[in-house]
Chain A
Amino acid sequence: MNFDFTEEQIMIKQAARDFAKKLEADVIERDYKAEYPTQHIKELSNLGFLGMLVNPKYGGGGMDTISYILAVEEIAKIDASVAVIMSVHNSLGCWGIEAYGTEAQKEKYLPQMVTGEKIGAFLLSEPEAGSDATSQKTLAEDKGDYYLVNGTKNWITNASSGSVFLVIAQTYPELQHHGINALIVDKDMPGVTIGPHEDKMGMRSSDTHSVMFNDVIVPKENRLGGDGFGFKIAMKGLEGGRISIASQAVGIAQGAYERALQYSKERKAFGKLLAEHQSVAFKLAEMYVKIENARNLVLKAAWLKDNHKPYGLAGAMAKQYAADSAMEITTEAVQIHGGYGYVKEYHVERLMREAKLTQIYEGTSEIQKIVISRQILRA
């Protein structure tokens, strides 16, 4: 057992922290205006965060999952929107192509994705099917040498900023989830329409849209993995994505905790510092323990992934616990701030709105509990 980070991991965490410092200057404004962080994403890619997991052969950083989640946490601590843009691009977009793509697909897409020239998006959710990937309504009809894609995808992160779409669609409805395919769709293919920007509660600086497919011709060579493999790819993708969303939740919680800690050491009430009131001190202690627990769950899941051991259960536990803890911790951070916590200037209300999404996307907390309970009952 060894709880020490490597020198590189520490350096990556520090680099992410230094980068995140720059996000703080306009995070409130971007959140308010729901403005995409174009310049910041450019710098994120210049620093190599957008391809950090990808094999150096394709220009990536070749880093491990632990390094990656350390970076996601540091960025989420300041700006969860940037963290989710990075997370979807890395854990779903780049990962999907690298893990399941043919050599030709990897060479075509990865070099441009690691430089941020092309941003990846993962198109699974549908208006009538959220994280339930088995009931896909989007069709990818087999037309011989191409698929004809029709349908609508919802809640797509990076939909307007991204251009490499990994689309999960049904080819053989009678085979149910065994008939699903994953296709690489270029956004500029005829028939692809981006819906209006979703006016979200939180993570407002990331772009979320619905995407419509109307008789889109996708060449067969764009299929990721074997025929009917799409469901497996989607599930595997979410399995890894969860670790990253869990670390995002840890970052949000850590950000709220740090702000609450700082505030309670500066602000006085009834003649003493907030931190000197036991009710506040205990809240801080509880936050601290929860964050430590959540982070350890995330690190363990990442470690399992790095060591090629099954990480599905660990990832689900990390995601559920980190997301639910983030919601509790951010709520308490607002409470500690009192009235100041309810206004934008003090950041914690934003962190609270951001925390909410971590309980919903890439599998709600309830879905995670299904995954966890199925596994422990099977054992």
Chain B
Amino acid sequence: MSVLIYTENFDGKFKKTTFETVSYGAEIAHQMGTTAIALSLGSVADNELLTLGNYGASKVLKVNDARFSNLDNQAFAAVIAQAVEKEGANVVIMSGSNIAKAVAPRVSVKLKAGLVFAVSGLPKNLSPFTVPKKVFHGKAFADVVIKSPVKIISLAQNSFGVKENRQTAVIEAFDAKIDDAAFKTKVTSVEKSTGKIILTDAEIIVSGGRGMKSADNWKPLEELAGILGAATACSRPVSDEGWRPHSEHVGQTGKIIAPNLYIACGISGAIQHLAGVSSSKVIVAINSDKEAPIFSAADYGIIGDAQKVLPELIGAFKKFKAEN
């Protein structure tokens, strides 16, 4: 019996979401009276692997194999399933990332293990094993029973938090048995914008809606994001108009985000938009329409034209940053 946590690395480094997943897995292991084992695929330095101990992992299985530097769903799933079987794990924890979405379902079928996505907290019950999850993008919550002997949980980002729980982790090399032929997808090129803060990682997001009026008005929004170390995002009409790329669209059919601070500029707050941002810890809304539904979801509001308010805000945040 054990809890196995699949840990994602980004070019050999772990991020906050990885530590959150480990923290969460360690807490479940604690509840079950067992140990938390982290699994890492690809090239990650040992001193980086050891940081997983800070969040409660007592063992780190490493598959130091360069073939895992690119995601191949089938091959990754095969190795994770092997590790689960080797460790006799009965709970498998993954993040809520795109990698989890790509791999976890395949592991589920391989192990005949029930899988739940968008889990929003610790199990409510270990027998029957019941986890809470968001449904309808947070318009309701549900309790789901996983009926199979092995259970797979994908944790919604920022729903547990990073919790320190220092353990001395031991690293164990895991010799996964996988043929080259198992890798059936080939990455031929990578396009990555450098130096930009990634939307789903961002602690702060500054977002613009139709109220920004045109693509040319994004300058101050970007400036504010720069000052706050924030990522920029937009509402659906903005990406549909082509003012901003689709990758910046947050909302029900775009990206679901959960930053600490979400600043919505000129976004009216259609129900589909709110579904994608309502997990933000604090929402600030700037809108000229005082009746805009965004204010019902916001913690702080400013009634005013975003284009006029933004320069003021930039000044105020600049002053704050200089003083703090």
Contact = CB atoms under 8 A, between A and B. Distances in A.
Direct A–B contact in complex, judged by CB atoms less than 8 Å apart: yes
A25 B240 CA distance: 11
Contacts of B293: 266
B293 to A, nearest CB: 7
A267 B293 CA distance: 10
Interface string B259-302: 00000000000000000000000000000000101000000000
A263 interface: yes
A263 B291 CA distance: 8
Contacts of B237: 25
Contacts of B291: 263, 266-267
Nearest to A22: B240
A184 to B, nearest CB: 41
Nearest to B292: A266
B56 to A, nearest CB: 46
Interface residues of B, number: 3
A266 to B, nearest CB: 5
Nearest to A25: B237
Interface string B230-270: 00000001000000000000000000000000000000000
Contacts of A267: 291
Nearest to B289: A345
A263 B293 CA distance: 11
B252 to A, nearest CB: 16
A92 to B, nearest CB: 35
A333 to B, nearest CB: 15
Contacts, number: 5
A267 B237 CA distance: 24
Contacts of A25: 237
Which of A25, A266, A267 counts the most B-chain CB atoms under 10 A from its CB?
A: A266
Contacts of A266: 291, 293
B212 to A, nearest CB: 15
A266 B291 CA distance: 6
A25 B241 CA distance: 10
A333 B293 CA distance: 20
Contacts of A263: 291
A96 B262 CA distance: 58
Nearest to B240: A25
Interface in A183-229: none
A328 B237 CA distance: 33
Interface string A262-302: 01001100000000000000000000000000000000000
A267 B295 CA distance: 12
Nearest to B241: A25
B241 to A, nearest CB: 8
Interface in B204-240: 237
A164 to B, nearest CB: 35
A267 B291 CA distance: 6
B238 to A, nearest CB: 12
Nearest to B296: A266
B169 to A, nearest CB: 53
A371 to B, nearest CB: 43
Interface in A250-268: 263, 266-267
A266 B296 CA distance: 9
Nearest to B295: A266
A58 B258 CA distance: 54
A116 to B, nearest CB: 24
A25 B238 CA distance: 12
Interface string B291-322: 10100000000000000000000000000000
B240 to A, nearest CB: 9
Interface string B56-84: 00000000000000000000000000000
A263 B292 CA distance: 10
A247 B293 CA distance: 31
B251 to A, nearest CB: 15
A266 B293 CA distance: 8
Interface string A105-119: 000000000000000
A338 to B, nearest CB: 12
A211 B303 CA distance: 50
Interface string B121-135: 000000000000000
A25 B242 CA distance: 14
Interface in A1-55: 25
A266 B268 CA distance: 13
A266 B294 CA distance: 11
A231 B291 CA distance: 53
Nearest to A268: B291
Nearest to A340: B291
Nearest to A267: B291
Nearest to B237: A25
A43 to B, nearest CB: 15
A95 to B, nearest CB: 36
A267 B292 CA distance: 10
A56 to B, nearest CB: 33
Nearest to B288: A345
Nearest to B210: A25
B253 to A, nearest CB: 14
Nearest to A266: B291
Interface of A: 25, 263, 266-267
5 contacts: A25-B237, A263-B291, A266-B291, A266-B293, A267-B291
Nearest 5 interchain pairs by C-beta? A266-B291, A267-B291, A263-B291, A266-B293, A25-B237
